[in-house]
Amino acid sequence: MMLSDRPYRVTERACAKINLYLDVRSKRTDGFHELCTVMHSVSLTDDLSLSFVQGEAQVSFHSNASFLPTDRHNLAVKAALLYMEKTGFCAQLRIDMKKRIPVAAGLAGGSSDAAAVLRAMNRVNPSPVSMDVLTEMAATLGSDVAYCLLGGTRLCLGRGEVMTPITFDRTLHAVIAIHRRERVSTPAAFAELDAVYHDFDGSVPFRQEAPSLLVARLSDDKADLKQLMYNTFEAAILPRCPRAAVLKACLEEQGAYAAMMSGSGPSVFGLFTDAVSAEKAEQAVKSAYPTAFAVAVQSVKASH
């Protein structure tokens, strides 16, 4: 697309993810932790609109969430500037975002916004870069951003950026819940794990499922997800976030066949057999806990 003085606008959706499995296996010498996790995209989205005008590299950011930074501390802005720097495709860019995914919740909202910006920019660039190059760029922005580029159901190893797609044909009906006053930043959650477990020397009661077995079991339509689900962070974060623990119990009371914290928390999700029971549970959580955010979501398939 050749840009001009008239804004050229594209839209892109950023999906939230939940972790069906999250094993923090060891602490690396670079300070990051080695993960074995299964991420799954769901239909809770931030909606982005990007308007491009010909000109020097410049990014402005506007959103309904006024607490978000508008400079390069915002991962979406950082992604746009990185894309311009790496590809030479420069423009005066305005990003408008309708933010729905709770921040600092373990749902990869910020990472997914950054991935959506990269996808949108690559669509508009007359000389787009390959998916491999885009994935590399994504991984420099954050551990989850490479996954968020593609979405769907994937096994993610390393920092989270080494991905294998999983054939997962089921549509999950989930309710995600979070108390508005509880937030957990990712670095704080990893620091909390380090404090609880002192060091990752193999003495920790981690699940240590072999990745290949995990993929095989998840690909089986009849596998019992409750048996498979696991999150190392639960033991460290739920005691610090009592409202999240209450919301998890509430989802179970409402009939969830499995419930767990997502990512580094404190959002929790419950899985229901169908959309109707998920929506009923969403309403029940909202009326029992008016200060909580609850939303019924479904699986979203990978974009590639």
* Catalytic residue annotation: 17, 144
CB nearer to ligand C5P: pick between 148 and 296: 148
CB nearer to ligand C5P: pick between 10 and 196: 196
Using rule CB under 6 A, residue 74 touches ligand C5P: no
List the one residue out of 123, 57, 52, 129 whose CA is nearest residue 90. 57
Site string for ligand C5P, 128-147 (x = CB under 6 A): --------------xxx---
Pair of tokens at residue 68:
């978000």
List the one residue out of 128, 117, 124, 132 whose CA is nearest residue 81. 117
CB nearer to ligand C5P: pick between 164 and 219: 164
- Selected from 52, 61, 83, 190, the binder of ligand C5P by CB under 6 A is 190
> Of 42-50, 97-105, 182-190, 255-263, which part binds ligand C5P (CB under 6 A)?
182-190
CB nearer to ligand C5P: pick between 254 and 267: 267
> Of 27-35, 148-156, 225-233, 238-246, which part binds ligand C5P (CB under 6 A)?
27-35
Using rule CB under 6 A, residue 159 touches ligand C5P: yes
Q: At closest approach, how far in Å is the CB of 122 from ligand C5P?
A: 21
CB nearer to ligand C5P: pick between 80 and 296: 80
Q: At closest approach, how far in Å is the CB of 205 from ligand C5P?
A: 19
Using rule CB under 6 A, residue 170 touches ligand C5P: no
Q: At closest approach, how far in Å is the CB of 160 from ligand C5P?
A: 5
Cα distance from N-terminal residue to C-terminal residue, the chain = 22
Cα–Cα distance for residue pair 248/263, rounded to 1 Å: 14
Name every residue whose Cβ is closer than 8 Å to that of residue 211 and which is 6 or more positions away in sequence.
Answer: 36, 155, 157, 164
Using rule CB under 6 A, residue 187 touches ligand C5P: yes
Binding site for ligand C5P (CB under 6 A): 32-33, 35, 142-144, 159-160, 186-187, 190
